[in-house]
Amino acid sequence: MTARLVTVCNQKGGCGKTHLAMTLGGALGARGLRVLIVDGDPQGTATRWYAAAPEGRPFPATVVSLAETRGQIARALKAHLDHYDVIVVDCPPSLDSPVTLATMVVADVALVPAIPAPGDLWATSRLVGLVEQARSLNDALQVRVVPNMVQGTALATAALQALREIPLPLANNWFGLRTAYRQAQAEGTTALGLRDARAALEVGALVDEVLALLGLASAAAAEPLPPETTTTGKPHRATGSATKASKTTKAARKTTKTAPKTAKTGKTAKKAGARRRAA
Ligand SMILES: Nc1ncnc2c1ncn2[C@@H]1O[C@H](COP(=O)(O)OP(=O)(O)OP(=O)(O)O)[C@@H](O)[C@H]1O
Ligand SMILES: [Mg+2]
């Protein structure tokens, strides 16, 4: 099978591109898929994150840097297509870098992490032109803005409403602002590896949503939820976003059953795969 390709992009620095690429890639790897995370950023954050994994507990996906290939990254990706189920590219925070457009032209899905704050909204809106450019060459490209660092349930609704101003579709799931995500980077793992239950709920729901977009919903079973304890060992009650994530997980699991029938996402993913092979 030719790998499905996800590119994670936004020219806004610090909005969570590497966090999303590593969390998604690691979670897909933990579900048994063969996952390659491509560090397309000369800063090398994903590469360092991967290298921070302790001996005997490797990061659950492979990370390789192709940052130096710049505009040739699509060609460089081709060498990996037959060896992985999913390839996730972590793009650099620059509109001047050719990596973002080059990967969107061959990707099945572009994920755009965005912090619901005014500066981030304006910056993310600037990506719209680039998406249109990519779509003129890749009409199968599916795009989702993924809210990141969403705080509190009351604030979340207003924040998500603000993100709807960006003329790109919003993902059904998002990341809350959680210490576990920062800690995971420092420890060379994912929040799932830290067994953070709240993070596990929202990550699981987002992974299900992305798998459905990729037409792979039936290929990777949802992982069992971790015990109801946080990394501090204290029990907790689900927050609004986690509850929502849980509901969405169930909905996504239903989608899993129907995905092969609807097959629209599968078709578009296959179309993008054919284009990548031709690149
Ligand atoms: N949901 C979150 N909760 C808490 N911390 C987060 C979250 N998402 C990202 N962070 C932290 O915010 C910082 C910036 O995130 P990240 O490196 O993923 O952004 P980026 O968009 O890749 O940045 P750059 O543009 O420099 O590549 C990191 O320290 C990361 O651990
Ligand atoms: Mg980064």
In this prediction, residue 274 carries a pLDDT of 67
Instruction: Quote the number of domains for the chain.
Output: 1
- Integer Cα distance of 265 and 215 in angstroms: 5
> How many Cα neighbours within 13 Å face the side chain of 2?
19
- What are the pocket residues of ligand 1 if the criterion is a CB atom closer than 6 Å to any ligand atom? 13-19, 41, 43, 45, 93, 148-149, 175, 177-178, 181-182, 185
User: From atom 9 of ligand 1, which residue's Cα is the shortest distance away?
Assistant: 16
Q: Is the pLDDT of residue 245 over 50?
A: no
Q: Is the pTM of this model over 0.75?
A: yes
What tens digit of pLDDT does each residue of 166-197 get?
A: 899 999 999 999 999 999 999 999 999 999 99
CA of 172 to the centre of ligand 1 (A): 20
Q: Which ligand is nearest to the CA of 22?
A: 1
CATH number at residue 218: 3.40.50.300
CA of 84 to the centre of ligand 1 (A): 26
In this prediction, residue 156 carries a pLDDT of 73
Nearest ligand 1 atom, CA 41: 27
Full residue range of the structural domain in which residue 51 is found:
4-278
- Integer Cα distance of 259 and 269 in angstroms: 13
Which of 10, 19, 179 for a ligand 1 pocket mutation test, highest count of atoms within 8 Å of Cβ? Answer: 19
What is the token pair recorded at 179? Answer: 């210490």
Give residue 279's pLDDT band: very low, low, confident or very high (50, 70, 90). low
In this prediction, residue 244 carries a pLDDT of 39
Q: Is the pLDDT of residue 204 over 60?
A: yes
- Integer Cα distance of 29 and 60 in angstroms: 5
User: From atom 15 of ligand 1, which residue's Cα is the shortest distance away?
Assistant: 16
In this prediction, residue 12 carries a pLDDT of 92
Identify whether the C-beta of residue 20 lies closer than 8 Å to the C-beta of residue 113.
yes
- Integer Cα distance of 3 and 269 in angstroms: 10
Q: Which ligand is nearest to the CA of 9?
A: 1
Residue recorded with tokens 């946080």: 230
> Which residues share a beta bridge with 207?
none
Report which listed range, 27-41, 86-100, 152-166, is most confident. Answer: 27-41
Averaged pLDDT score across all residues of the chain: 83
What distance, in Å, lies between the first and last C-alpha atoms of the chain? 17
Q: Which ligand is nearest to the CA of 185?
A: 1
Q: Which residue has the higher pLDDT, 198 or 225?
A: 198
Phi-psi region of 29 (alpha: psi -120 to 50; beta: other; left: phi over 0): alpha
